[in-house]
Chain A
Amino acid sequence: MPRDPDSLDTLLQNPRLWRGRNPAQGMAGLASGYELLDRHLPGGGWPQHALTEILTEHYGIGELRLLMPALARLSAEDTLADFTEPGWIAWVAPPFQPYPPALQQWGINLSRILIVRPRSDSEVLWSAEQALSSGTCAAVLLWPQTLDDQASRRLQLAAEKGGSWAIAFRPLAARTEPSAAALRIALQSGRAGLRLRILKSRGGRPAVLHDVI
């Protein structure tokens, strides 16, 4: 069998070949502010321009604190850098009222917060898709009742189109359902802190992290 020195390169360039670890494939991540988490995420942070799913059973265990450092950086982005306004952070159908004084303590620019409360689940998805694809929202947080494979694909595409970060909060039971999200994380409270399981990570590896917060 003739050995062609280029055959490996040719093979690697085949788009049908999926490689587990390919840091060049994705863009740099958005630093989460938690060193342990950043180490385990491809690109060293949250996947930008993509859908992230956070699966959790209870509210208040740290699901928002996990995001706050990254959101604060997004909302306070330097306006002079690229002649654009800092992006908005849209909250679509939050289960409770996001409390502005606490958001402010975390460094979130309150003038960039948009809260949307649709009346039905289909409107939640519609609003989130609009906000994601508009190109004005740096991040869109949504709490859908249900999110099937097709809907998650739509959100993923909208996030890519608008260059926005979509974060969907879902119950823990949804982890068996298929999803097009680039990153799926399950949160549970551990003995000392938050236990974080990376269920799916595009370009990364599943992992279990203890005491992230």
Chain B
Amino acid sequence: MPRARKTPVLIRADTGTPAAVRAREGAAHPQHALALDAPLAKPQASTATLARRLWFCVYLPDLPLEAGGPLEQASVVVEEQQGMHRVLLACPRAAAAGIMPGQTANAALALLPTVRIEERSTLREQQTLEALATWLEQFSSVVCIASADVLLLEIAGSLRLYGGLLNLRRQIAAGLQQQGFGASLAIAPTPLASTWLARAGQRACIRDTANIASALRSLPLACLDWPAAICDAIEGMGVTSVGDCLRLPREGFARRVGAQRLIELDRALGRLPDPRRAWRAPERFCADHEMTEEQGDREVLLAICHELLLSLERFLLTRQLGAQRLLFSFFHLRGPATQLSVGCVGPERLAGHWFALLKLRFERMTLPEPVIAVRLYGGRNQVLHTESGRLAFHGKAGGQRLGYSMSQLAERLAARIGKQSVHGVTTVAEHRPQRAWCLQSVLGDKARTTLAVLRHSLKRPLWMLPEPTPLPAEHGLPLHQGRLTLLEGPERLETGWWDEDGIARDYYTAVNPHGMRLWVYQNRNRTANWYLHGFFG
């Protein structure tokens, strides 16, 4: 929450409030400007539209404890407070032994020597929350991570599909329980009302906006998650519940507590709109497999990689996407992680296909040390265009060719012998023979289909030397494993004066005593040297 600063706010005349009234505080956020126009007037928002929405709140009070995995033994989560590790949360078994939040870690150990003590990890909590949000996306298209322990779902649109409110609630509750989360659930037409009700631990289910106020009235201030200073201040005034807050004059409340709190109350009651941004699952896949002890067996590591690839496939399948590059990281206890990247010609999602490629690379990889964890990081995801299967035509052997496609073959070859060692070729419209062609990647786009076509009368050799080889000459005729006989020529090529690589040559077809047909040329300069440029194959 950014620190509120004092901003004079002009009140519009048509709101019916005295123009002299100034809001003492306003939020720094520009998006609140609209709401701040009239924080003190009781807004009569179009409640009819708000009531169409229904917010399902999942409040996870024990998330720090549950994020650590299944609770198999008595355990507590500790947090460092003023240099001391103090218990933040204790599981029921630990609580039964007398461990309470606020105790030091040593006290907890003294009460229950077998207790497992874990330090709080907010990162792990965040990851758990995101995993849960991903899971909840099956119930609603709008899932929000409202705060560090609150998830919100907009369920008005899902009620019919899931067979009514109670059924939906039962399904979500069962799923949460199965995953080992003790959650407090509440349903209300506004996000804040459902959050507050869930925090208060009330299994409330409010469907009508008009009923919100009565449901919230009894809630203690603690469930509003307001800063402690504000709560203390208004409790000092004898205000202990939401109902008490609502009874206060709006003007005075805004002056003492802040306009932002008034806006929150209005949003909870449905008087002001409360737009929420839906959380989206990250579009990149990243999964870890951690082991309890170091593992050097390559077969075991491959099996782990296969599992990771299967989860990647599920991830991509639900999104109808494919990945083109994957990065495996093998972590060691000492030393940097070993990286292994695997690439594909096009977007791909089948685990079996990736695994075959991985195996080729993995065989040649050396691991300096045993591995403690494996991470699979999926590169940028791309839309996967799948093809419809073909009908099998009887008697057409070609229609049911076995094996795999060309791109898969190119991938396999490139994976083992290197990307630069596998390529296609194409021609270029250019008179200079050494520039009349170029390599073309078969792993990338095959868009270039325009080819330069050479006249048929020009003779070109099937074999080209990478560089012309100088030939010795005798009586003006070149030698290559014997004296050459010139059969055809010359074909004069004099071009390329505009760049560094200009040529002036007379090309001949020659044959040597072994019957080799050669493509030779004589430079058209004063030296008149002979060169061998190709074989006719």
Mark the stretch among B122-130, B368-376, B509-517 that contacts chain A: B509-517
Q: How far is the CA of A106 from the CA of B454 in the complex (A)?
A: 11
Nearest-CB residue, chain B, relative to A67: B537
Once A82-B396, A117-B421, A189-B515 are accepted as A-B contacts, the answer to whether A99 and B413 lie under 8 Å apart by CB is no
Once A62-B517, A64-B462, A188-B515 are accepted as A-B contacts, the answer to whether A84 and B534 lie under 8 Å apart by CB is no
Once A61-B514, A99-B534, A136-B405 are accepted as A-B contacts, the answer to whether A130 and B464 lie under 8 Å apart by CB is no
Once A97-B465, A97-B466, A135-B403 are accepted as A-B contacts, the answer to whether A116 and B422 lie under 8 Å apart by CB is yes
Residues of B with C-beta under 8 A to A100: 425-427, 436-437
Quick check: B537 and A65 within 8 Å, CB to CB?
Answer: yes
Residue from A100, A116, A126 with most neighbouring chain B CB atoms (10 Å): A100
Residues of B with C-beta under 8 A to A163: 397, 401
Q: How far is the CA of A31 from the CA of B102 in the complex (A)?
A: 90
Residue-wise interface mask of B (401-443) relative to A, using a CB-CB cutoff of 8 A (1 in contact, 0 not) = 1111110111011001110011111110000010011010010
Mind listing 5 A-B residue pairs with CB under 8 Å?
Answer: A83-B398, A96-B535, A114-B406, A115-B425, A126-B416
B461 at the interface (CB under 8 A from A): yes
Quick check: B424 and A58 within 8 Å, CB to CB?
Answer: no
A40 to chain B, nearest CB (A): 21
Q: How far is the CA of A98 from the CA of B51 in the complex (A)?
A: 74
Assign chain B's interface to a size class. 35 or more
B377 to chain A, nearest CB (A): 28
Quick check: A62 and B424 within 8 Å, CB to CB?
Answer: no
Residues of A with C-beta under 8 A to B412: 130
Quick check: B454 and A83 within 8 Å, CB to CB?
Answer: no
A101 at the interface (CB under 8 A from B): yes
Residues of A within 8 A of B (CB): 57-65, 68, 81-85, 88, 94-106, 110-111, 113-119, 123, 126-127, 130-131, 133-137, 161-163, 188-190, 194
B446 at the interface (CB under 8 A from A): yes
Once A61-B514, A103-B462, A127-B413 are accepted as A-B contacts, the answer to whether A111 and B453 lie under 8 Å apart by CB is no
Quick check: A96 and B534 within 8 Å, CB to CB?
Answer: yes
Quick check: B534 and A131 within 8 Å, CB to CB?
Answer: no
Quick check: A110 and B421 within 8 Å, CB to CB?
Answer: no
Quick check: A104 and B454 within 8 Å, CB to CB?
Answer: yes
Known: A96-B535, A114-B422. 5 other contacts (CB 8 A): A99-B433, A127-B417, A130-B409, A135-B403, A162-B402
Residues of B with C-beta under 8 A to A113: 424-425
Q: How far is the CA of A25 from the CA of B412 in the complex (A)?
A: 35
Residues of B with C-beta under 8 A to A126: 416
Quick check: B454 and A189 within 8 Å, CB to CB?
Answer: no
Quick check: B463 and A59 within 8 Å, CB to CB?
Answer: yes
B18 to chain A, nearest CB (A): 81
Once A63-B537, A65-B537, A104-B453 are accepted as A-B contacts, the answer to whether A134 and B516 lie under 8 Å apart by CB is no
Residue from B390, B406, B460 with most neighbouring chain A CB atoms (10 Å): B406
Residue from A57, A103, A123 in contact with B416 in the complex, judged by beta carbons closer than 8 Å: A123
A185 to chain B, nearest CB (A): 15
Quick check: A98 and B403 within 8 Å, CB to CB?
Answer: no
Once A103-B462, A127-B413, A189-B515 are accepted as A-B contacts, the answer to whether A134 and B403 lie under 8 Å apart by CB is yes
Residue from B425, B437, B452, B517 with most neighbouring chain A CB atoms (10 Å): B425
B536 at the interface (CB under 8 A from A): yes
Quick check: B401 and A98 within 8 Å, CB to CB?
Answer: no
Residues of B with C-beta under 8 A to A137: 409
